[in-house]
Amino acid sequence: SNAFKKPNLRPSLPPPPAFAFDMDGVLIRGGKAVPGARRAIERLCGDNPQNREMPFIVLTNSGGESEASKAAKLSKQLGIEIKGDQFIVSHTPMQALAQTALRSKLVHVVGPDAVKDVAKGYGFEKVVTTREIRAWDKRMWPYPVLGGDHDYHRHDPSFNLTTDPISAILIMHDPPDWGLDIQIITDLLLSQNGHISTRRPLHHASLPADHPPFIPLYSSNADFLWSNDYAFPRFGQGGFVAALRGVWAPLMRDQPNGADRELPIAGQFGKPSAATYDFAKRVLARNSSNTKDAIGTVYMVGDNPASDIAGANRHGWTGILVETGVYKQGDVVVGDERPEVVVRDVEKAVEWVMRREG
């Protein structure tokens, strides 16, 4: 037999590029597929000159439902299958909080009622919604409640607001009724250790400089704007938090410690946060491990410079900005919100990468 090894004449291919697609304003708008979106994803599933599969995820700041149900909805809208484990929504990395002491504590979730089940799915054992809190004493919000009044006496038996303090507030998705949530979140921050009916002293200059910390408030999405099929961008969760900040500042105006005048945000998730990009990197690595390929350049295709592109630039990905959502031709983007390239839509983005990667 031949003692000499034949040289390997097949040059080994560099690792394929990977993609992170934003959803609203890139793949869909107002529940309808953006033209070319399905085609773009098909290209990654092997329909390309090298017949290579390229790993991808959907990385969206939307939420309000489980990853699996969001993925199923998007699959239907696009007519191509996207799996739940390829889908990261704004609150997906909040799972990590359920691995802390908060797991068995009572947490307040903000968003549509469905976020309660999402939080339970993440492992939180005791979860209360805004409507459930308000039902405990309707005088807290003496106005009509969207979705109707809740009957506290038939509430979830896992908690009792008379005795259980609320240990954290998780804004998981844009709340349907901003006013109600601003009132209840403010009440909780001003309470003594999360007991809803109590209050810290809050007279002029009365909050001592060494007061106990506010209960932690987490936000899952800093997007001020997002894009549906209306002609102009809509306020996102970041808009809601700006409104909350807007009432917090005058409320705390007379506090001696200037820091107390700023809304205490304990943690920020969603694009462009490190928590979300780190989580996404782990998902991409896991999903591509079956192809045994290392991960090549990761391209983030997004419509929002402040969210998708800033996140990509800050976390080592290459940002591609499209014109089908928040960003419009002629808008000025500066600093770390500047993408590598601007293209018309997601299909053009994938074509640009294919050309670049050869």
- Which residues are 299's β-sheet partners? 19, 318
61 binds ligand G3P (CB under 6 A): yes
Put residue 83 in one of left, alpha, beta given phi > 0 → left and psi -120 to 50 → alpha: beta
Among 18, 19, 20, 24, binds Mg ion (CB under 5 A): 24
Among 129, 183, 220, 221, binds ligand G3P (CB under 6 A): 221
345 binds Mg ion (CB under 5 A): no
Q: Who's near 305: CB < 8 A, 6+ residues apart?
A: 321, 326, 327, 331, 333, 337, 338, 339
* Residue 223: CB minimum distance to Mg ion, A: 8
**Of 67 and 177, which CB lies nearer to Mg ion in the complex structure?**
67
Residue type, 175: P
* Residue 62: CB minimum distance to ligand G3P, A: 4
* DSSP state string for 63-130: -SS-HHHHHHHHHHHHTS---GGGEE-TTGGGGGGGGSGGGGSEEEEESSTTHHHHHHHHT-SEEEEH
* Residue 61: CB minimum distance to Mg ion, A: 7
User: Using CA atoms, how far apart are residues 257 and 279, in angstroms rounded to an integer?
Assistant: 35
272 binds ligand G3P (CB under 6 A): no
* Residue 123: CB minimum distance to ligand G3P, A: 24
Cβ neighbours of 338 (radius 10 Å) = 15
**Of 187 and 345, which CB lies nearer to ligand G3P in the complex structure?**
345
Among 16, 20, 24, 134, binds ligand G3P (CB under 6 A): 24
226 binds ligand G3P (CB under 6 A): yes
Residue whose structure tokens are 């809050």: 202
**Of 74 and 168, which CB lies nearer to Mg ion in the complex structure?**
74
- Give Cα 125 distance to the centre of its chain: 22
Residue type, 151: D
* Residue 25: CB minimum distance to ligand G3P, A: 5
236 binds ligand G3P (CB under 6 A): yes
**Of 17 and 238, which CB lies nearer to ligand G3P in the complex structure?**
238
Decide which of ligand G3P, Mg ion, none touches 48; Cβ closer than 5 to 8 Å per partner kind.
Answer: none
* Residue 111: CB minimum distance to ligand G3P, A: 10
Percent helix / strand / coil, the chain, rounded to 5: 35, 15, 50
Binding mask 256-295 for Mg ion (x = CB under 5 A): ----------------------------------------
* Residue 175: CB minimum distance to ligand G3P, A: 12
User: Using CA atoms, how far apart are residues 295 and 199, in angstroms rounded to an integer?
Assistant: 52
Decide which of Mg ion, ligand G3P, none touches 62; Cβ closer than 5 to 8 Å per partner kind.
Answer: ligand G3P
Size of site (CB under 6 A) for ligand G3P: 13
* Residue 25: CB minimum distance to Mg ion, A: 4
Residue type, 186: T
Cβ neighbours of 218 (radius 10 Å) = 21
Decide which of Mg ion, ligand G3P, none touches 191; Cβ closer than 5 to 8 Å per partner kind.
Answer: none
- Give Cα 282 distance to the centre of its chain: 16
- Which residues are 291's β-sheet partners? none
Q: Which residues form the interface with ligand G3P (CB under 6 A)?
A: 22-25, 60-62, 174, 221, 223, 226, 236, 304
Q: Which residues form the interface with Mg ion (CB under 5 A)?
A: 22, 24-25, 303-304, 325
